[in-house]
Chain A
């Protein structure tokens, strides 16, 4: 009887989650006395980009690392494709704020490093890496080392590495915060085409309200510690528009204002 009930329940949940790639339910995380996340629940629709937006120190990185399986939550569950997360897995790839490139390895080896760790043969992984190096516009730099590249180029390497393992979910922790403003704008445009062309789920942490509104299908606003989701905003209208005119769009400006209005009281 019990069995039956559980089975029925699982089926219902699976049906409901058909287009939810990642679901976070009732996650809490304490670092010793510091309560970083409390009872946070959030769902990430498949094929879409969800931004985590909130003041500094509110636990965005913590949440992302819990989803990545790099940190264990104190309580609560994370499901990726309906399966509970117990550690890092091939279904998720991380893009790091500080790039996290191996300084002793060439661009080629760095991009192929995820595949190398998965035991893909050298010639095969280099062919795949080559493709993504070209995709992010770094052809000709395969033999360069990270210290010979600009910040923007380094993050392209980090992005190519995450793309080349072909994970369903891309976790990006403020990937553009360490690059200059013009590069950042270019990255945001590239990210929009990436979301449109690759059928992947993006989880994107940012400090910038404008950036979140520009690139997101869904924006989760987190409040200061202990963090919960205070609001979910879906700038759906914007996704249909030409990426070059979004910043002039009244809807864009309204949403930016709205988010600022809800966040400003938390910023001292």
Chain B
């Protein structure tokens, strides 16, 4: 973005919104919106507390495990669906249903099946993330240039070689795109899990702060969460740019 001929750094619009937030907060417009500066000072305050750190740890643990399973199961599933017509016909309807299904409604079922603990939260997180990862990996494989596969076969590639040396790389731009969106959905999943299944992690903090009208605490945790999700998604976007040199030339 350019302003009066000066190039502004990326996301400088956030400054304007931050300023607006501060002003609205100072005007004491609503208890719901404390000034941004107060939110930040609360953030530094609670950062060192035991409650915050264990919440961060619990959330990160559930989130990372959930995303891990979504990736490790989702990418191969998507690739196999792209390679195998039969598997594709069998699974695609389900993937599409779950992609658009209101997964929150499934959470109680998961609680019955897997209990009220971490396990259910991780599974919820995985369920939020996995479908788009599968679909994107599948789309990535479907657009692979046939002759690349034939080339590998003609030089004697084993199915494993073809998988690791051709399919994964040829589909990588789509796979990374899917993982990025999946990760963002996993953030939703982990918080919903923590709110609905067992009041734990950040979910518990949200619950606690909003029930007690501790609005600057509430916003502080939300900002931390946003910051984490944003960082991960930017990192994945960076990886996507790293492979973009060949994405258009496959």
A-to-B contact residues, CB < 8 Å:
65, 68-70, 88-90, 92-94, 96-98, 100, 102-104, 113-114, 116-118, 145-147, 161, 165
- Chain A contacts of B169 at CB under 8 A? 102, 104
The answer to whether the Cβ of B245 comes within 8 Å of any Cβ in the partner chain is: yes
The answer to whether the Cβ of B223 comes within 8 Å of any Cβ in the partner chain is: no
The answer to whether the Cβ of B45 comes within 8 Å of any Cβ in the partner chain is: no
Instruction: Please measure, in the bound complex, the distance between the C-alpha atom of A98 and the C-alpha atom of B161, giving whole angstroms.
Output: 22
Instruction: Please measure, in the bound complex, the distance between the C-alpha atom of A142 and the C-alpha atom of B207, giving whole angstroms.
Output: 59
Number of interface residues of B (CB under 8 A): 22
Checking A90, A92, A96, A116 against B150 with a beta-carbon cut-off of 8 angstroms, the contacting residue is A96
List of 6 A-B pairs having minimum Cβ-Cβ separation, nearest first? A103-B246, A100-B151, A114-B155, A94-B154, A100-B147, A147-B249
Checking A97, A102, A118 against B166 with a beta-carbon cut-off of 8 angstroms, the contacting residue is A102
Instruction: Please measure, in the bound complex, the distance between the C-alpha atom of A261 and the C-alpha atom of B250, giving whole angstroms.
Output: 40
* Min distance, Cβ B4 to any Cβ of chain A, angstroms: 38
21 residue pairs A–B, Cβ–Cβ below 8 Å: A65-B150, A68-B154, A88-B155, A88-B156, A94-B151, A94-B154, A96-B150, A100-B151, A102-B165, A102-B169, A103-B249, A104-B170, A113-B155, A114-B156, A117-B156, A117-B157, A117-B161, A117-B165, A118-B155, A146-B246, A165-B155
Instruction: Please measure, in the bound complex, the distance between the C-alpha atom of A94 and the C-alpha atom of B250, giving whole angstroms.
Output: 19
- Chain A contacts of B150 at CB under 8 A? 65, 70, 94, 96, 100
**A118 contacts B147, CB within 8 Å?**
no
- Chain A contacts of B165 at CB under 8 A? 102, 113, 116-117
- Not counting A98-B145, A114-B156, A146-B249, a sample of 20 additional A-B residue pairs whose C-beta atoms are within 8 angstroms of each other reads A69-B154, A70-B154, A88-B153, A93-B154, A94-B154, A96-B151, A100-B145, A100-B150, A102-B165, A102-B166, A103-B249, A103-B250, A104-B169, A104-B243, A113-B155, A117-B157, A118-B156, A145-B245, A145-B246, A161-B155
* Min distance, Cβ B19 to any Cβ of chain A, angstroms: 44
- Chain A contacts of B172 at CB under 8 A? 104
Which partner residue on chain B sits nearest A110 by CB separation?
B151
* Min distance, Cβ A178 to any Cβ of chain B, angstroms: 12
